[in-house]
Amino acid sequence: MLTPDLIQALRSAQHIVASTGAGISAESGVPTFRDAQTGLWSKFRPEELATPEAFLQNPKTVWDWYAWRRELVARAEPNAGHRALVALEASVPEFTLITQNVDGLHRRAGSQSVLELHGNIMQTQCFSEGTLVTEWNDHGETPPRCPACNGLLRPNVVWFGEALPAAALEQAFTASRHCDVFLSIGTSTAVAPASSLPFEAHAAGALIVEINPDPTPLTRQAQHVLRGPAGKILPLLAAALANR
């Protein structure tokens, strides 16, 4: 699976970027984004729920969908893939972890610095002010209301059509343009601007490694394509770096 030249490139890399998508959490039992519509929610398409318009039209439905996903994520545990990235972070001079996931599993696994481009489902913000809200009075209303302005509360995740957190996005682009190796892990590489990061890295001369059971639009550009689950492949990468 890991060729000698890939192992050599990993061991001599000064800066490695790992960019993850829903696939790295699949082995923790968190459905990938596009097949999360199981059971109760099968009649909705994510694009119908994860937008500000959907929230304003059906605040209770959207809040309940995220409450269902929060529940599911809270029961999930980080898997060997998440843990391997923690080990990688410790064995590379510079390591940047970028994720599109909102499940918080990288932090729970012990990753120190995580650029959460799409927010974090375990956090809540005020729809009107955009501020993070950690406590509110529960008057039995769904969604609950902001204690400061009485606006509706919403999950702290980026919805379709919304801007990504500017600082995190800028750091992600800078890291992608200055790394030696870019690991694209468990993402369909379908949603901008995150999907352009590996192409920026490729244009800047980084070695591109794709870790995914299936092909993606990045496959053609990747010098190394590791077809398989992240939970099996990432520990091999971490071991190769640990035993240098």
Phi, psi of 151 (to 5 degrees): -70, 165
Nearer residue to ligand OAD within complex by CB, 21 or 78: 21
Nearer residue to ligand OAD within complex by CB, 179 or 194: 194
Nearer residue to ligand OAD within complex by CB, 111 or 212: 212
Nearer residue to ligand OAD within complex by CB, 20 or 145: 20
Do the Cβ atoms of 23 and 187 come closer than 8 Å?
yes
* Residue 1 binding ligand OAD, by CB under 6 A: no
Residues 6+ apart with CB under 8 A from 130: none
Nearest distance, CB of residue 100 and ligand OAD, angstroms: 4
For residue 97, list its beta bridge partners: 18, 114
Site stretch for ligand OAD (CB under 6 A), options 28-36, 66-74, 134-142, 166-174: 28-36
* Residue 118 binding ligand OAD, by CB under 6 A: yes
Q: How far is CA 177 from the centre of its chain?
A: 19
Nearest distance, CB of residue 92 and ligand OAD, angstroms: 21
Site for ligand OAD in 31-70 (CB under 6 A): 32-34, 50
What the block records as the tokens of 151 is 């606006």
Q: How many residues bind ligand OAD (CB under 6 A)?
A: 26
Nearest distance, CB of residue 141 and ligand OAD, angstroms: 25
Q: Which listed residue (42, 137, 163, 214) binds ligand OAD by CB under 6 A? A: 214
Strand order in the sheet with 224-226: 114-116, 94-99, 15-20, 181-185, 207-211, 224-226
Q: Which listed residue (229, 238, 240, 241) binds ligand OAD by CB under 6 A? A: 229
The residues annotated with a catalytic role in the active site are: 118
* Residue 216 binding ligand OAD, by CB under 6 A: yes
Question: Tokens 């409450």 — which residue?
Answer: 67
Site for ligand OAD in 6-25 (CB under 6 A): 21-24
Site stretch for ligand OAD (CB under 6 A), options 9-17, 55-63, 120-128, 209-217: 209-217
Nearest distance, CB of residue 204 and ligand OAD, angstroms: 22
Binding region for ligand OAD (CB under 6 A) = 21-24, 26-27, 32-34, 50, 100, 118, 158, 160, 186-188, 190-191, 212-214, 216, 229-231
